[in-house]
């Protein structure tokens, strides 16, 4: 695998609850870099990106902190694009999930330029497909999927130079279990493929991931946008918008290992880790464990034709 470049985006301007800005530091305390390096991976920590502070203002026309969210996403876009051009695997440490607009827009542009097939796996408890008209809060971290699919303020949908940045068939959501009333209709209209927790309950994580990863091939650039609240809240309390009933530890490990088995993971977001809600950094340590699995950690050396 190419060199992995860690980059922190310490902000929570897209959320109403403070604390996700401390996520990058918590991942460093949990020794993310060392955890990946012990598997023979080359990992550099590029430090934290800089952006505007959280003004803690109410929403304006259904959008909270739009200017600040745009500035942060422009910075993230530039950093991810630079890393991809250098042949690296960008690992963005959030920060709230609104930052995925800049990150994925940069990946999408890179794939268009390189002739790669883009597949985005969105691991999350929330669909993040709200708009300024459907949102009950105005928080833009609930809108990045809609923005990437071309629905939202032009300052965000236009990042990357093409609107929409993504086509519906390029993104697949797994683990969804919290969708606002109007957002459900909007999600259907957008045409996003969603494997919610009922689907996982009925079919299991293995079948779900086989379906989510179907069609990935040698020319696929696989981007994973991992919101930590994807995990069950009893397992991972260190998030600002915890939702019970998510994947168990073993289900999450299987999800990550099956992604790693494709050999196509080429960029990653780790979002919404909130140490202010955590217990002795246990969520950050769990996230590091799962990210190691995403990059190939396994119990045994496995063969395609057999169990090991």
Contact, 245 vs 125, CB < 8 A?
no
Q: Report the C-alpha gap between 245 and 255 in whole angstroms.
A: 16
- List, by residue number, the catalytic residues: 97, 124, 126, 128, 141, 227, 229, 272
Phi (first) and psi of residue 29, to 5 degrees: -60, -35
Q: Which residues contact 188 (CB under 8 A, 6 or more apart)?
A: none
Give DSSP secondary structure letters for 153-209.
-HHHHTTTSSSSSS-GGGEEEEEE-B--HHHHHHHHHHT-EEEEHHHHHHHHHHHHH
The answer for 150, left when phi > 0, alpha when psi is -120 to 50, beta otherwise, is left
Query: Omega of the bond prior to 164 within 30 degrees of 0, cis?
Result: yes
Cα–Cα dist 165/257, whole Å? 28
- Residues flagged as binding site: 97, 124, 126, 128, 227, 229
CA–CA distance from 203 to each of 72, 207, 263 (Å)?
A: 39, 6, 24
Q: Indicate the Cα dihedral angle 7, 250, 256, 244, nearest 10°.
A: -60
**273 backbone dihedrals φ, ψ, rounded to 5°:** -70, 125
Residues in binding site for Mn(2+): 97, 124, 126, 128, 227, 229
């Amino acid at each position: 695998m190419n060199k992995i470049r860690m980059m922190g985006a310490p902000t929570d301007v897209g959320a109403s609850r403070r604390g996700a800005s401390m996520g990058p530091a918590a991942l460093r305390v949990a020794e993310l870099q060392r955890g990946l390096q012990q598997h023979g991976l080359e990992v550099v920590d590029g430090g934290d990106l800089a952006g505007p502070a959280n003004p803690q203002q109410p929403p304006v026309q259904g959008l909270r902190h739009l200017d600040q969210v745009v500035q942060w996403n422009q910075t993230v876009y530039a950093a991810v694009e630079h890393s991809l051009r250098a042949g690296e695997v960008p690992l963005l440490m959030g920060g709230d999930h609104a930052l995925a607009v800049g990150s994925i827009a940069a990946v999408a542009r890179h794939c268009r330029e390189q002739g790669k097939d883009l597949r985005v796996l969105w691991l999350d408890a929330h669909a993040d497909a709200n708009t300024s008209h459907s949102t009950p809060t105005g928080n833009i971290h609930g809108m990045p999927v809609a923005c990437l699919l071309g629905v939202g303020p032009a300052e965000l949908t236009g990042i990357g130079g093409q609107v929409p940045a993504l086509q519906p068939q390029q993104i697949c959501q797994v683990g969804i279990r919290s969708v606002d009333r109007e957002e459900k209709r909007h999600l259907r209209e957008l045409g996003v493929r969603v494997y919610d927790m009922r689907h996982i309950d009925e079919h299991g994580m293995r079948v779900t991931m086989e379906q989510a990863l179907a069609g990935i091939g040698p020319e696929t650039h696989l981007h994973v946008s991992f919101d930590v609240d994807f995990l069950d809240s009893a397992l991972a309390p260190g998030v600002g918008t915890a939702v019970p009933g998510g994947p168990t530890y073993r289900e999450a490990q299987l999800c990550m290992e099956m992604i790693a088995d494709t050999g196509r993971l080429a960029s990653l977001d780790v979002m919404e880790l909130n140490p202010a809600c955590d217990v002795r950094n246990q969520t950050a340590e769990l996230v590091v464990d799962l990210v190691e699995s995403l990059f190939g950690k396994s119990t045994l050396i496995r063969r395609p034709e057999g169990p090991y």
